[in-house]
Amino acid sequence: MVKGSRYIFLFLDYDGTLSPIPRRKIVLERSLSPYTKGLLAGLSSSQRIRVSIVSGRSVEALKRMIGLDGIYYIGAHGHVIEGPGIRFSHCVAEEFAGLVRKLLSEIGDKILGLGAVIEDKGTTFSIHYRGIGKREVDMLRSILADISSKYHGLKIKRGKRIFEVLPDTGWDKGKAVGYMIAMLSARLGEGLPIYIGDDVSDESAFKAVSSSGVSIRVGSSCRTNAQYYVKDVNDVEKLLAWLKNVGEEKTFIPRS
């Protein structure tokens, strides 16, 4: 831990980190288990810990699924941030909402016809294709390639059985986490940033905290910027329980 730091700036991905991803079906909204919600509530009540949830989901969806005040919600891959004393929305993301409506009107029926599920997040949208065949996935890729060539300023990211359609702003989870670290440090003083995530979209955030904090991937991978890894969501819960105890201690042990 950073010597002399009094705070932990804890950043957590949602899907696959706090909430398990169903293997065989698509469930768009999965509320936290009571146990995990209790852990987050305990962490957020600590004077020494600031909790941020970082996700590709919308801030509104995160609030519905988590239902806790006093934490920071970072949605749409960092393009929207809400929490105590902050309300941030990337200007290009706001403008992108109109294009989202146009794109969904243009390709929505085609995507649904392939058996995929669309998650409309207002400023972005996701296409979940868990459970559909290879032929349909190839057709889905073709549809996305067409709109990518037709409309400039799009970025299409691939995750775990999901395609994310985003504005190509150069902003991502890593940029948002860096922004939050700077903001929290200015308010409180130096803190130890910790980021826990499981997907490709979390790699920029791993990189953002690795020089001054701790980055942890859920699931091992040879191609990651994370310094450490845990096996699954159950291990994340154990780590959060440990951090909750650390947050209650009077002093922090410096990192060697």
Q: For 125-179, what is each residue's pLDDT tens digit?
A: 999 998 889 999 999 999 999 999 888 888 898 888 889 898 888 899 999 999 9
User: Which is nearest to 122 in space by CA: 148, 147, 135, 103?
Assistant: 103
Is the pLDDT confidence value at 24 over 70?
no
Q: For 29-77, what is each residue's pLDDT tens digit?
A: 788 999 999 999 999 999 999 999 999 999 999 999 999 999 999 999 9
pTM equals 0.87
Q: Using only the alpha carbons of the chain, give its radius of gyration.
A: 18
- Bridge partner residues of 123 (DSSP): none
* C-beta atoms surrounding 222 within 10 Å: 4
Put residue 67 in one of left, alpha, beta given phi > 0 → left and psi -120 to 50 → alpha: left
Domains detected in the chain = 7-90+171-248 (3.40.50.1000), 91-167 (3.30.70.1020)
User: Which strands, in side-by-side order, build the sheet including 154-159?
Assistant: 117-120, 125-128, 162-167, 154-159
User: Which is nearest to 43 in space by CA: 31, 52, 54, 33?
Assistant: 52
- E strand or H helix at 164: strand 162-167
Would you state the structure tokens that stand for residue 32, as one six-digit string? Answer: 């936290």
